[in-house]
Structure 1
């Protein structure tokens, strides 16, 4: 389970078959016009009531049925799709019709679609939380405030109105495949049982497991200190000097993005990383860093180029703004151009 750790170190048609009818796919964006985009705020600025409401909504997702036809919950749809979009060949037959309709299936890491795909993925998740009763502002975790002191010092990691701390080194759960999980036993997610887990090599196990973390700042402090410069205010300021999309996007994914995944460890290492409730808080911060970079030059709201994998070939091809961002039933697929400027158009938010 070294997917994101590796990212940090590196800097990361068949014959016709009968296909069951696809579930109704929600159009969460619709045709709304954005006039006054609401501001997303940092977790510390939410206030206790909104923090509790957000956490309650996350837990609520486990009580909602799967949106994509799985025998699990809406909560589990997110890690499932994230995992499958890193290996299109593993999609079950019931999703094939969606693949063919999209005709643009890409892996969502190590290529140009990384930032726009995760931007939309986060919006879908936020809407799911609102469907579960959350009415507060969109939020993110600005880990630059915590990097030097250690992530465990962050209010985000608190037992009350936070996401709990590191996994208990004395509380291990063993999977059938022999993976040892260091279970989180503090905070509101101590009893959370994510359904799916990526087990090496690229095997998706199911049946439920404890939420687990294995933070290097506790277990490998020297390794954590080596990663810290990537996630400090100074590190992000340096990243923001990137003069073009290709450099910025590559450095962001392999730098602060991969660093936080590796710094939390546990669930954040395999590609089922949306099992970790902090996944979306982290990716909202990555989205914020991108948004800040875009703010420096209006042309950057349409700057998108590079390579991406397109179905059915594994060969990388040039991307463009009309490429489709596939979500496989979580929400309606949209084009890259639809998500490039969140403060205008259907996304409608700002930082």
Structure 2
């Protein structure tokens, strides 16, 4: 995007702020990306009012909340951080995110957002910027810095992806995209700027990395962000559906993450 419009930045949607009642967030209001779809599930207010998607057929952009007028609850930051605290490699971590706090947002908004062609909704990119921040938090939690080179993936030709693998369309290696503070990326999340728990160190002659050596959830318990009065109607959970399968979510892992977030919230409000 910056090659087209230098200086442009992409905000992230922190859905942990309004996790209990996501449909009440200003992000899902007429002031921003619009509310639930109309009687035909078409987005009819906000900046996406009247948008037409091109794939798999040319129709209005659709949104269909999972529970009628409600998306269902999402994950609170306490639960996200609890997931980060789990000892895991990138393969396990990405699977946990995909089948947990990432997937529940897609399925909660429903409509086109719960389909493989979700990127036709601009909100997709704000959601994935949030996922990118969670990845950065996970990387920073390892004070050795080894998570900045931990990847997993299989290429279309069957080869295993490495740090030297060149990304299609971008003509840049994976290694250049592993750190938000690299010379290629050079951006930082607000969460890192205002929290004294993060420590900056020099990784090599070209880039800095940030780490935080203590359990990040202690930050939330100290400042009283959560407590026994922080009530909610239902635990976040992904339910079995055709959309879940079309997005590639795994039932066993989904059930594991449903239980994980439930336990994390129980601990949070205890």
TM-score for the superposition, normalised by structure 2: 0.63
- Where 2:154 maps in the other structure, the secondary structure is strand
Choose from 52, 56, 72 the match for 1:224: 72
C-alpha contact (below 8 Å) 2:29/2:35 kept by paired residues: yes
1:1-351 alignment runs, 5 A limit: 126-127=1-2, 131=5, 137-148=9-20, 150-160=21-31, 162-168=32-38, 170=39, 172=40, 182-197=41-56, 205=57, 208-218=58-68, 224-225=72-73, 228=74, 231-243=75-87, 244-297=89-142, 298-304=145-151, 306-311=152-157, 313=158, 317-327=159-169, 332-351=170-189
- Where 1:240 maps in the other structure, the secondary structure is helix
1:259 shift after superposition: 1.0
C-alpha contact (below 8 Å) 2:43/2:51 kept by paired residues: no
TM-score for the superposition, normalised by structure 1: 0.49
| Distance change (3 Å), C-alpha of 1:237 and 1:296 | same
More helix by share: 1
Taking the aligned partners of 1:264 and 1:187, their CA distance within structure 2 comes to 15
| RMSD of aligned alpha carbons | 2.1
Taking the aligned partners of 1:274 and 1:333, their CA distance within structure 2 comes to 21
Structure 1: give runs of 5+ residues left out of the alignment. Answer: 1-125, 173-181, 198-204
| Distance change (3 Å), C-alpha of 1:333 and 1:242 | farther
Partner of 1:69: none
Structure 1 outlier segments of 4+, above 3 Å: 135-138
Taking the aligned partners of 1:276 and 1:151, their CA distance within structure 2 comes to 17
Q: How many residues align structurally?
A: 186
Taking the aligned partners of 2:155 and 2:13, their CA distance within structure 1 comes to 30
| Distance change (3 Å), C-alpha of 1:127 and 1:267 | farther
1:254 shift after superposition: 1.6
Taking the aligned partners of 1:333 and 1:264, their CA distance within structure 2 comes to 34
- Where 1:196 maps in the other structure, the secondary structure is coil
